[in-house]
Each structure stands twice: as C-alpha cells, then as structure tokens.
Amino acid sequence: MKVSIITVVYNRAATIERAILSVLGQSYNNIEYIIVDGASKDGTVDIIHQYKDRVHAVVSEKDNGMYDALNKGIRMASGDVVGILHADDEFSNDLVIEKIAERFRANTEVEAVYGDVGFVRNGEDDKIVRYYSSAIFKTKLFTWGFMPAHPTFFCYRRFFEEFGYYRTDMQIAADFDLLLRFLRKHKLYALYIPEMLVKMNMGGKSTNGLSSTLRINKEIKQILKDHQLPSNYLRLYARYFVKVWEFGKKKK
C-alpha cells in the first residue's frame, strides 16, 4: 500500500526542514512525498532542494492559497491513501505512517483513519501545551463545530475524486467542510487511533488569535448553512470551553 503525504508551504524556512525530516524518517518504506510551495521568497525552496533526491515531486509556483495548493498536491498523488503534513508540523514519531497503513491493511472496511494532535510552541517541540483528542468525536458534533483532528486524517485517494476536493473559497475552514462531507454526508467508515500522531505548532491559521477565531467560526457557520445543518454562534463558541480543558490534558 502506497501512502502519499502532501506538504504545502509558503515562506516557512524556519520549520520546513523539520517537517521534511519527519516524513523522510518514517519507518514505512512505501511513501510518496509531495511538496507544493507557493513561490516562497525566504529560502524555503533552497531547503527543499537539499532533499530533492528523496522527495518524489516538488512544485514551486504561485497558487490561490493553502487549499488550492493541497488540491494540487492531491491531484498529483498516486498513492492508495493520502494524508497531509503542514510545513509547521511533524509526525509524533517515526512509526506513525506504519501504524496508519496497518489499520487500513488489517480491516478492509476501514476507509479513513484519524488520531490525536499535540500542540507545541515554536522551539519547544518536546513540550505539549495542548492535547486535542479525537476520541469524543461523533458526526452529530459537526453542528457544534467539532471535527476530528484534521492533520491526522488519512483516507483513500479515490474519495477525493468521488466526493470532491477542498473548497478554495474558504480561508481557514475548508478542512471542516471536507471532513463533514466525507464523514457525515458520505459516511466513510473511519477508525480512530487513540494516540498522538502529529505535533502541531501553535500560531497557525486556525489558532492565531482573535481574528482567526472570528474568521473560522464565520466560515463554519456558512458551511453548516450550505449543508442545511442547524447551528448558531452560541453553539460554535460553546466548544471553546472544551478547548480550554485541552490545555490541561497530558500526552498519551
């Protein structure tokens, strides 16, 4: 089973090498790694080229944002299963992809998998400051703004062709829309892996202060409306009580 991993990046010279090494260091030996760069100007491309012999495909050109770049990478992929690793993030250990592939191989009914995310601050990769567990997730919780940890989501590539790619009219919440479509609308059989699969840097698009909080909830509300699902801002903001509790959780 070939697993394609997509990293999209723009001006992340400080973190891209860590992400690349995280993929190249995986124990699983049937990985296709694709990097889509948005024409970075800060030295990111120079770092990527240091590993060009071990990366299967590199594209560096202007795009229409992160989700456009992700769609581009997925369309280039030839793997049976597709997942992403953002340029600020890293897999929690070298066995992650092996464990994910094993879940697909062990049960032919499994169509997607996801796990947990640990949040870290830049320069403190070993200190988990917030732990997001996907264990509580049920599809009915989409109407409250909850979803499984998107950076840990892997599914068969064919589902992107069948059910559609990421929306490019959203700045932050297109991952919410995609997971809602795949898991609730199309009812993919997803298996939860009860452990941290990805370390995610604080300060990304979805966690970068008040402006990103307002934006993501506005987009989620619009997505729910587009899918004719009930929701309101009271519900969406209520989930932040859970987020506060996550800061006290420990890494599993």
Q: In angstroms, rounded to a whole number, what is the distance separating the alpha carbons of residues 243 and 247? A: 7
Of 202, 15, 205, 9, nearest to 118 by C-alpha is: 202
Percent of the chain with pLDDT over 70: 92
Q: What is the CATH number of domain 3-246?
A: 3.90.550.10
- Contact between 117 and 86 under an 8 Å Cβ cutoff? The reply is no
Arithmetic mean of pLDDT, 101-128: 92
Whether the per-residue pLDDT at 151 is higher than 60: the answer is yes
Q: In angstroms, rounded to a whole number, what is the distance separating the alpha carbons of residues 198 and 91? A: 4
pLDDT for 239 equals 78
- Residue 234: pLDDT band by 50, 70, 90 thresholds? confident
- Contact between 15 and 122 under an 8 Å Cβ cutoff? The reply is yes
Please compute Rg for the chain using Cα positions.
17
Whether the per-residue pLDDT at 244 is higher than 70: the answer is no
Whether the per-residue pLDDT at 243 is higher than 90: the answer is no
- Contact between 172 and 76 under an 8 Å Cβ cutoff? The reply is no
pLDDT for 204 equals 55
Distances (CA, A) of 157 to 128, 152, 179: 31, 15, 14
What's the distance, CA 147 to chain centroid? 11
SS3 126: coil
pLDDT tens digits, 9-34: 999 999 999 999 999 999 999 999 99
- Residue 107: pLDDT band by 50, 70, 90 thresholds? very high
pLDDT for 209 equals 60
Of 123, 96, 64, 91, nearest to 7 by C-alpha is: 91
pLDDT for 21 equals 98
Q: In angstroms, rounded to a whole number, what is the distance separating the alpha carbons of residues 118 and 116? A: 7
Type of residue found at 25: G
- Residue 235: pLDDT band by 50, 70, 90 thresholds? confident
- Contact between 33 and 5 under an 8 Å Cβ cutoff? The reply is yes
- Contact between 16 and 48 under an 8 Å Cβ cutoff? The reply is yes
pLDDT tens digits, 154-194: 999 999 999 999 999 999 999 999 999 999 999 999 999 99
pLDDT tens digits, 77-100: 999 999 999 999 999 999 999 999
pLDDT for 211 equals 78
- Residue 122: pLDDT band by 50, 70, 90 thresholds? confident
pLDDT tens digits, 203-214: 655 555 677 899
Whether the per-residue pLDDT at 252 is higher than 50: the answer is no
SS3 46: helix
